[in-house]
Chain A
Amino acid sequence: MKRNAMIALAIACMLVLAACGGNNGASSGDGGGNAEGAEEPELRMLMQYSLFDPNEDYMAKAITEKTGFPVKYEMLPAENADEKLNLMVANKEDFDLMKLSAPQFFKLATAGALEPLDELIDSYGANVKAAIKEPSWQSSTIDGQIYAVPETGSGISIGEELIVRQDWMDELGLEAPTTPDELYTVLKTIKDEKGVIPLTGSKDAIFGDISAAFGIHNAWNETDGTLAHKAELPQMKDFLTYMNKLYSEGLLDSEMPINTTPKAIEKFSSGQAAMFRMAWWNAPGLVKALEQSAPESEIAVIPYLQSAEGAAEVGISTAITWYIAIPKASENKEAAMRFLDAKLADDVFKSLAIGEEGVHHEVKDGKYFPILPKFNDDLNNGSAYMTGTNEHTYPDYWQARVRKDPVLQHYYETFQANAEAAEIIIDPMSTAPPIDAVSRNTQKLNKLLTDAVIMFISGSRDIAEYDQFLEQWHAEGGAEMVASANEWYQSAGAGE
């Protein structure tokens, strides 16, 4: 018995040593494959989470090949990303580049963890300067200094719109609704005649088509030169009263407060629900599923509803999605900027965005189309590696991603065409620079608002209490946030 115990102990010790040793081997083996860019220093870049191995991807190799910079990539975790980022930055981890979300950028910039980039851009960033338009720079400028390269995504695009089972509409002799009142009648008829859920939706997608018809377009809305958050709009009560009516009469899915997006898609695509606000990127899966469960079905997109004044409007935010920053702790600041600049040279940028012509993409009628499967195999994760885009060309390049699938393309294009037919209202805060009170409170207050909205719609709270809620919203930081936003808006307006 003693021998057994000793053997067990010995094995345990060996395993511990093996684990430590094995790991050291693994981490030192990672820096390989930089023979080409031997002259340039190895850069360390922090990315947002995506589900792939960033050092093994085609894109990583292509970038090093085109720019001559060897780069070691690391990702933030999918969950608790902000926490991890804080820990790493506070501990002076020596990243050379970081791709940050807007709140992350605001926080690190105000904490003084990021390097001001003006001089670096002037010295090494000719391509960067040319690629990015003036309004975008504003959003990364604090007290007159630029702290990041702003990365816009695909340009202005509308994500979601109401879709309906057209076969049922035809069967019931219904026309596409154009106002909230008509929508109500359509839903009521569907409920009475078909016995399905007339309108389903997910708990985190309440605002959109219907709220826009009530004059609630964006998170921030401007009236007479003053900004108001949507929580403060007097129209909010009308919108909630309308939605509550739908809910209490069974026209809105009673499980909306617990529906996730996949659940809402499930209900629509299994024929349990007649109407749903779909994001175009979910179209391929949804359409396929519906075709299988109801082969004779037909889907139609409902154009944007008109408000009482007869205007169809759609809100959109053009805010920057990602910020590429160089942390103060970096030891290769100049190289990092040269790297960013090299990636934005026109030909390099094009090949990183859509690959090589004839291999990854082809041009038809002046539009870019992907060549499958090569495009997907190599460039699927391309967007994750982006560090600033050429704002003049990227929206065109990017659409190749949508043309991967005819269904995807159809819904994307229909949604954009419908939005253009209506009036697009841009969130006035889209180009705002980092404002402390705004970035500090936005997430918390948005949650507070969505939670309350769900309570008001589902009737677990009486709409008469809305003012009481608004008071709480203001007290929890809303008042401070709105004041700061207006302060910026007034000063920016004076400058123009």
Chain B
Amino acid sequence: MSIRTSLSERLFNGCNIAFFIFFGLVTLLPFVNLTAKSLSSEAAVVSGSVNLWPVGFQLGTYQYVLEDAMFLTSLGNSVLLAVVGTALGLFVTTITAYPLSRLRLRGRKWLLLMFVFTMLFSGGLIPMYLLMQALGLVNTMPALFLPAAINVFNLLIIKNYFEALPDSLEESAKIDGASNVRTLFRIMLPLSLPVMATIALFFAVYFWNDYFTAMIYITNQDLKPLQLFLKELLVSSSSEFLKDNVDAALNTTPQSIQAASILLATLPILLVYPFLQKYFVKGVLVGSVKG
């Protein structure tokens, strides 16, 4: 193996790095813009004079948002929801994906079709609401995570990953007399950290971003998650909402505070990914693959 790389390879590396610097900047600019707005005076934001740097610097917006009891309550709700929802979803989806990844499972094809079918057809909002009410889940936190605990998209990705693991793993576990459950938890899962990290992220992001479920099932202010709060903040400042409602129009949220709220509501979930990245390492299978 040579340390020295060829010219074409260096050229490729250079271009690749340049591409990602460009890509990164392009995706980051809007956040710089939002940050600048959140730190600017409202007058400067209204007249559109804020681009990438604050005009009329102030921190009052952040103080306002962070002292808002509704923001803090909903932040707490969202963290709880993301943690509980992800734990439950990851667990249920994984133990369901494993049997479905075993080719010897009887009726596997039909079971999979039955799962995939629910990605395409749903009964709609009304029967779902009736069901939730019958289960006593309306205006409760479990309404937000129980129906999402089994996610077919995530299930297929995990199943796909399990299928890509070498058969020899299971065979050797069988020879050692391990049960299927033992095989899953002792052999398969430790080798599945990258996909577990990915699906955990998918679940966490889903629960973090989902405002719709809460909008339908939650009217209790104390149970609203952050994205619903944010959605309502933005909608209640939109011209459609304020039309014909003078009293609401007199109380709109300043744009600089909207910007600060968006940033503060997004930041926590953005911090999750860097922590999960360490599981995306190549070669988790080294040593487990027996030729």
CB within 8 Å of B: which residues of A?
1-2, 5-6, 8-9, 11-12, 15-16, 18-20, 22-24, 26-27, 30, 49-56, 74-80, 83-84, 87, 90-91, 153-154, 157, 159, 202, 204, 260-262, 265-267, 269-270, 279, 281-282, 285-286, 288-293, 321, 380-381, 383-384, 401, 408
Contacts and interface: CB of A to CB of B under 8 A. Distances in A.
Contacts of A153: 246-247
A262 B255 contact: yes
Interface in B221-258: 221-223, 228, 231-233, 235-236, 238-241, 243-251, 253-255
A289 B140 CA distance: 44
B87 A260 contact: no
B190 interface: yes
Interface string B68-103: 011000000000110110011011000000000000
Given A80-B215, A289-B43, A12 B251 contact: no
A5 B189 contact: yes
Given A15-B84, A79-B215, A91-B129, A20 B235 contact: no
Contacts of B190: 1
A76 B235 CA distance: 13
B163 to A, nearest CB: 20
Contact of B47 (A15, A50, A260, A290): A290
Contact of A265 (B46, B84, B186): B46
Nearest to B87: A12
A80 B142 CA distance: 22
B76 to A, nearest CB: 10
A349 to B, nearest CB: 16
B88 A16 contact: yes
Contacts of B56: 292
Contact of A270 (B49, B69, B84, B236): B49
B125 interface: yes
Given A11-B87, A380-B251, 6 more contacts: A22-B141, A26-B220, A27-B222, A281-B249, A288-B42, A288-B46
Contacts of A5: 185-186, 189
Contacts of A290: 47
Given A11-B87, A269-B47, A53 B69 contact: yes
A266 B49 CA distance: 9
B223 A285 contact: no
B222 A30 contact: yes
Given A9-B91, A292-B44, A380-B251, A30 B142 contact: no
Given A2-B186, A5-B185, A23-B141, A269 B246 contact: no
A23 B142 contact: yes
B48 interface: yes
B44 A289 contact: yes
A84 B138 CA distance: 12
Contacts of A75: 219, 221
Given A15-B87, A19-B80, A23-B142, A279 B249 contact: yes
Contacts of B38: none
B84 A51 contact: no
Interface in B53-77: 56, 69-70
The 9 closest A-B pairs by CB, nearest first: A383-B247, A289-B46, A12-B87, A266-B48, A289-B47, A5-B185, A78-B235, A78-B232, A23-B141
A20 B139 CA distance: 11
B47 to A, nearest CB: 4
Interface in B142-169: 142, 145
Contacts of B80: 19, 22
B140 A78 contact: no
23 contacts: A1-B186, A1-B190, A2-B185, A5-B189, A8-B87, A23-B223, A49-B232, A50-B251, A53-B69, A77-B215, A78-B231, A153-B247, A157-B246, A262-B239, A266-B46, A269-B48, A285-B43, A292-B41, A293-B47, A293-B49, A321-B245, A380-B251, A383-B247
B250 A401 contact: yes
A50 B251 CA distance: 9
Contacts of A24: 140
Contacts of A20: 140-142
Contacts of B221: 53-56, 75
Contacts of B223: 23, 26-27
A54 B125 CA distance: 27
Given A91-B129, A202-B239, A286-B46, A27 B220 contact: yes
Contact of A19 (B41, B84, B125): B84
Nearest to B215: A77
A2 B179 CA distance: 12
B209 to A, nearest CB: 15
B236 A50 contact: yes
A383 B241 CA distance: 16
Contacts of B219: 74-77, 84
Contacts of A261: 239
Contact of B69 (A18, A56, A204, A266): A56
A78 to B, nearest CB: 4
A52 B215 CA distance: 16
B126 interface: yes
B108 interface: no
Contacts of B239: 202, 204, 260-262
A285 B46 contact: yes
A78 B133 contact: no
A415 to B, nearest CB: 12
A15 B80 CA distance: 9
Interface in B11-65: 41-44, 46-49, 56
Contacts of B141: 19-20, 22-23
A50 to B, nearest CB: 6
A402 B42 CA distance: 20
A51 B251 contact: yes
B278 interface: no
B272 interface: no
Contacts of A204: 239-240, 243
Contacts of A154: 246
A27 B139 CA distance: 8
B285 interface: no
B182 interface: yes
B220 A74 contact: yes
B130 interface: yes
Contacts of B244: 321
Given A9-B91, A15-B84, A77-B215, A291 B43 contact: yes
B91 A30 contact: no
A237 B87 CA distance: 62
A84 B216 contact: yes
A201 B248 CA distance: 21
Contacts of A53: 69-70, 221
Interface in B108-135: 125-126, 129-130, 133
Nearest to A380: B251
Contacts of A380: 251
B247 A292 contact: no
Nearest to B238: A260
